Amino acid sequence: MPNGEKYDLVVIGFGKAGKTLAGKLASQNKRVALIEKDARLYGGTCINVGCIPSKRLVMEAGAAPQEPQEQPRFYEEAVRGKTELTRALRAANYDKLVKVGVEVIDGTASFLDKNTIEVATAGGGSRVLSAEKFVINTGSRPALPNIPGLEDNPLVYVSETMMDLTRLPRRLTIIGGGYIGLEFASLYANFGSQVTILQHGSVFLPKEDADMAAAIRAVLEAKGITVLTEAAPQRIEGARVYYSKNGREEALDGDVVLAATGRTPNTELLQAERAGIELTERGAVRTDEHLRTSVENIWAAGDVCGNLQFTYISLDDSRIILSDMAGDGRRTTRNRGAFSYALYIDPPFARVGMSEAEAAAEKRNYRVVTLPTAAIPKARVLKKTEGILKAILEKDSGRILGAALLCPEAYEIINLIKLAMDHDIKAAELRDFIYTHPTMSEALNDLFAL
């Protein structure tokens, strides 16, 4: 076995789980190294090119001027503010780890065997590190579809590069009708861009109930966003996208194209086979419920596992790994409760647990309750009355099986519903709870009263 500098733990990747684990063990006087191939990604995808900068721009877009002549300058200033924010957070994340004794190494790691890695450092050299334990936290990257003219096209962006665009596009074409594409569509429409979404499939938001998908589509179209389903891109020339629809080829002119067609795990540089680490068919690291890989001293966390690709899931992954490393293993992927997520369109959409379609497929004895957003006093205060709140309740017990919210502050209310679901708090208790007024959460009084 190759010899190398010895550590108690080596973390590959500066994402949410990785930095949390590195900081925790270093504070316990363990010798910890954290490897990151790109110093611009200290803190991970979320802080630098994901949820934090995009939500900052979402907030800025909500205050964008309506006068077309003022929009480009406002947008440029918003991007500048976003960049300053991510720079500050990146530095804070680095300083926090160094302060507790983590050695941050700039470079690309690859396994030599299950106890040793080689790091090709940013300075052009290499180091060999050995450790008792490893955590793979290399994240994911945008997956590019095989469309002629897409790669190496200066007018085609992905989610991670789009937010560095300092000039507001007058016309934006988005390839992909998933959650990332819709969020950027809403964001840029609010800034003043003319947005068109090309979706290959025939069903808009197929993972959501048809009524909620229709409500979301109506909200987007009210902003002037065009949604074209069954539109399959064929090739791209500059910012002109040729696509097929109904057996005919059409052309769509634009200023910029955003490819928003999902993400893929970053495993290609790991040389995982040298350590005996199994990968899935899609190239993700295969893990068990404790996030152990096929090698007993190596764990994986976050997007690289190919499961739920959210920062808060990555944080929970760190708790699961810490539990397993401590020897109790009580926390697992199977007991983290109902899964919730939010889509930061305007108004935002959030969901937790089962959809109505899923409840019907499982033949649950359920009932549906709904409430229009316009019936909520706080929504009227905010002048944001579009949308609907929906919940799926078990008839006999009153348990909440799931909820979908399209309303202001949906991303906050959904946490309260998840907490109730995880702790078996019935809908009647949320119905009778005393909320402050006026708030969006008090809508649960009326939603569950029906």
**78, 105, 300, 340 from 297: Cα distances, Å:** 45, 21, 10, 31
Query: What is the Cα–Cα distance from 378 to 78, expressed in whole angstroms?
Result: 27
Give the CA count within 13 Å in the CB-facing half-sphere of 141.
Answer: 11
Closest to 302 (Cα-Cα) out of 266, 353, 277, 335 = 266
Helix (H/G/I), strand (E/B), else coil: 368: strand
Closest to 166 (Cα-Cα) out of 238, 55, 67, 75 = 75
Q: Letter for the amino acid at 345?
A: I
Token representation of residue 439? 């708030």
Using DSSP bridges, classify how beta strands 232-237 and 240-245 pair: parallel, antiparallel or unpaired: antiparallel
DSSP code, position 441: T
Angle at 415 between CA 322 and CA 89, to 5 degrees: 60
Angle at 293 between CA 288 and CA 297, to 5 degrees: 120
Using DSSP bridges, classify how beta strands 263-265 and 140-142 pair: parallel, antiparallel or unpaired: antiparallel
Helix (H/G/I), strand (E/B), else coil: 442: coil
Sheet holding 240-245, edge to edge: 232-237, 240-245, 248-252
437 carries an active-site annotation: yes
Concatenated DSSP letters for 218-270?
HHHHHTT-EEESS-EEEEEETTEEEEEETTEEEEE--SEEEE---EEE--TTS
Exactly one of 200, 290, 423, 437 is catalytic; name it: 437
Query: What is the Cα–Cα distance from 408 to 347, expressed in whole angstroms?
Result: 5
**Cα pseudo-dihedral 413, 417, 420, 426, rounded to 10:** 120
Q: Which residues are part of the catalytic machinery?
A: 437
